[in-house]
Amino acid sequence: MPDRPRTVTPPPKWPTALVTGASSGIGRAFAVELAAAGTKLVLVARRRDRLEALAAEVEKAGAPAPEILVADLADDDQRATVEARLADANRPVHLLVNNAGFGTRGFFAELPVETEDTEIRLNALAPVRLARAALPGMLERGRGGILNVSSIAGLQPLPHWATYAATKAFVTSFSESLHQEVRSGGVSVMALMPGFTHTEFHDRASMNRSSIPGAMWMSAEEVVRAGLQALDRNRAAHIPGFRNRVVAVVARLTPWAVSRRVVHVADRHID
């Protein structure tokens, strides 16, 4: 009886990926999706207990045992350990997912300046520093990817979300600029711009989820799958979900003088 042909499992698209903010939400979904494809994970977040639970989960599912880095990326010294890991030529990272971040909501003049400073450092500075650490090695190897999680919130001014929207506008512009700089070197850089996503983000921002129509929401898993597919196509930016793309078109066509007033009024009724 002839032997059955062996099933050969193809190697993962990204042999090793470092995911920030991996303890929950979109970051966690990235970790699970990449692990299922056989990617070796480097998990970064502040909460060790959650990282260890996630590592045990993906390893139990048959994925390679993840590496854990506990770090607050808004802290210079702790972020430096992650930068060093990304720059380690002996342990290359093929995909960097800059996902860590949070948003503050409220009247800017009344928000604690220390929190706003941390938001800027985590949402904007950390992706710059980590990308700078990862890119030289990726370019030398002639392959790699950087996926920066931005938001459609960065497409227009958002009163009561001023700092958050500004950081996401920065991340999108930064990502699209890098995309053009490095695409000829075999490296893909993309801004992923989700809309309303079921994560802990809105709880931390003290926002009532029930005020947003259910049809506007996506799951973290849907966002992640769409993001990875778009990165495979070497897109500079991607907005997952048809409704989010409609919102983005309206935002781009509406004069900012109008949109900022509309958002200001609308947000006051979201409590």
- Give pLDDT tens digits for 76-104: 999 999 999 999 999 999 999 999 999 99
- Give the residue-averaged pLDDT of 96-120: 97
Mean per-residue pLDDT over the chain, rounded: 89
Residue type, 241: G
| Per-residue tokens: 227 | 């993001």
Known catalytic residues are 164
Domains of the chain: 16-267 (3.40.50.720)
The vertex-160 CA angle with 158 and 163, nearest 5°, equals 70
Query: Exposed, middle or buried: residue 240 (CB in 10 Å: 0-12, 13-18, 19+)?
Result: buried
Contact 26, 223 (CB under 8 A): yes
Does residue 217 have a pLDDT over 90? no
Q: Give per-residue burial for 73-112: e unless 16+ CB within 10 Å, then b.
A: bbeeeebeebbebbbeeeebbbbbbbbbbbbbbbeeeebe
Does residue 265 have a pLDDT over 50? no
The pLDDT value recorded for residue 196 is: 84
pLDDT tier, 142 (very low <50, low <70, confident <90, very high otherwise) = very high
| Per-residue tokens: 170 | 């920065």
